[in-house]
A and B are shown apart, each in its own frame.
Chain A
Amino acid sequence: MAELRVKSTGTLKLFESDNTSSVTIASPASLGADRTVTLPDASVTLASGTMLATDGDGSSLTGLTPGITEADLWYVTSSFTDSGIDIVTANWSRFPASLGFNKMGTGMSESSGVFTFPSTGLWKITWHFYAYHDTDASYVGGGIYTTEDDFNDFIRAAQTYTNTLSGVLSHVGIYVSTIFDCEDTATHKVEFYTEAQADTDFIGNATAGRMTASFTRLGDTP
């Protein structure tokens, strides 16, 4: 194998077209052993700034923004009977470790059914619940309201309905989700609602996730 050797803290200078400025590739002043830089069999363009060093599996990389830093799960711990549209304002609790959950990050905070984000960013929000009735309700629905002004006004971020049998025992499963850009934690919030044409039992439970809301921070606000 042919070699080109530049000794005594050797450098290789590559000049621009007018030969004024140059790029210098230099060896360290001191080396613990022989090192090898092997170029890949592909075109490579280096970005400006500092190159990241890795030990091979990437575990020592720094300066990177981790993907998901916040994940939280809440549930409603008691059942209720209701008709019409109503915000779920009570009996919220964080899904417990005894049911296999531990939050990632700071987590959401809740007051009277209004959830506040711990940080700005793009958030995925889900809402699911189980209900049943044997009344004259021919539909049951639910959804997610978000706000950008602390609920002076609200956004119907997710909304769905399902048809049920009037006067016949009907079981209902509702699931909706949305992605919300929380640009300001003081004003951008979320709440959840249920809806039914006539009296329907919405099933909260302390030992099972029958009405749950999840929050996952996908990344920084765009």
Chain B
Amino acid sequence: MITRPDHIEDYLITVRNGQWFGWSDHTNKVYANLIVHDGGRKPTEQECTDGLVQLQTDFDNRKTKKETDKANANQKLKDLGLTDDEIKEIKGIN
């Protein structure tokens, strides 16, 4: 996900491949309007809710880890004696 998941559709596209689901009213994408095109199992509303929460948690964890890694890398470079300008140069930031 490139943005933080905020809808059960973000979870549904991870359940299985292809256009297996849709909405009886695409202007109102709520669980009650969820339809299954491929004859497969329809996830429960709880599964959708839990799945979305898990995606959000994973997204937040990845974001936190990325920020932590970045901060750690900067600190380690400083510990080696590099100045902020030198760190910017090796990162390609002008």
What's the least CB distance linking A133 to chain B, in Å?
10
* Chain A residues near B26 (CB-CB < 8 A): 77-78, 91, 93, 206
How many residues of chain A are within 8 Å of chain B by beta carbon? Answer: 19
Q: Whose C-beta in chain B lies nearest to the C-beta of A77?
A: B26
Specify which chain A residues have a CB less than 8 angstroms from the CB of B2 in the assembled complex. Answer: 132, 169, 171
Contact with B along A204-215 (1 / 0, CB 8 A): 001000000000
How far apart are B20's CB and chain A's nearest CB, in angstroms? 8
Size category of the B interface is 10 to 19
The verdict on B29 contacting chain A, using a C-beta distance below 8 Å, is yes
A221 lies within 8 A of chain B by Cβ: no
Residues B19 and A80 in contact, CB atoms below 8 Å apart: yes
CA separation between A81 and B37, bound complex, in Å? 14
Known: A132-B2, A169-B2. A82 touches B23 (CB 8 A): no
Residues of chain A contacted by B18 (CB below 8 angstroms): 80-82, 86
Indicate the member of A82, A86, A199 with the most B CB atoms within 10 Å.
A82
A206 touches B17 (CB 8 A): no
B23 to chain A, nearest CB (A): 7
Partner of A79, one of B9, B27, B37: B9
Contact with A along B38-74 (1 / 0, CB 8 A): 0000000000000000000000000000000000000
A-B complex: 3 closest residue pairs judged by Cβ atoms: A77-B26, A90-B19, A91-B22
24 residue pairs A–B, Cβ–Cβ below 8 Å:
A77-B22, A77-B26, A78-B21, A78-B22, A78-B23, A78-B26, A78-B29, A79-B9, A80-B20, A81-B14, A81-B18, A82-B17, A82-B18, A82-B19, A83-B17, A86-B18, A86-B19, A89-B19, A89-B37, A91-B26, A169-B2, A201-B13, A206-B23, A206-B29
